[in-house]
Amino acid sequence: MYINNVKFAKNNQRQTGKVDLTKLSRVQEIDSYSGELNFELIGLVDKLNRPTLNLRIYGIIHTLCQNCLQPMDVQIDNTSGITVFYTEEQLDAALFGDASSGVEDGVLAEEEFDVMQLVEDEVIMLLPYATKHEKCIGMSYADKAENPFEVLKNII
């Protein structure tokens, strides 16, 4: 799905949809995540009259606990503001030069802006680094494993 991101923002348009994590190739390269996430893209003009896209991604990611390797669900609900810039210089200045620009993230103006690419990029940034149950049935880092040499010493 493609949009003209400047017109989309200036006309206060809205796009919603769902994305299946198993169909996102770059997400699957990271790990075998599954689940369906909802997204909502809203166009607006910010207080400095810059076209802006607000992207909300929410839903549940199915993954494995990195401690016990049992299935677990991770709740995701995030909203990002993405400012649209007309030149690479404006984008770089806002993101890297001016700390007071108020820009969280930015993209270049495009007549055929790939919404699903943006959604996948955002999902990748939202993926949990190392998932773990709050009360895991496996060992935690604080647990102490039995020393195998102590066991042998007690046998002899």
130-134 mean pLDDT: 84
Q: What is the pLDDT of residues 108-128, one digit of tens each?
A: 999 999 999 999 999 999 988
140 CB-contact burial (10 Å; exposed 0-12 / middle 13-18 / buried 19+): exposed
Spatial contact of 62 and 71, defined as CB atoms under 8 Å apart: yes
Q: What is the pLDDT of residues 68-99, one digit of tens each?
A: 888 999 999 999 999 999 999 988 888 887 66
Say how many C-beta atoms besides its own lie within 10 A of residue 57's C-beta. 20
Label residue 6 by pLDDT band (50, 70, 90): very high
In the predicted model, is pLDDT for residue 52 greater than 60? yes
Position 68 scores a pLDDT of 86
Position 130 scores a pLDDT of 82
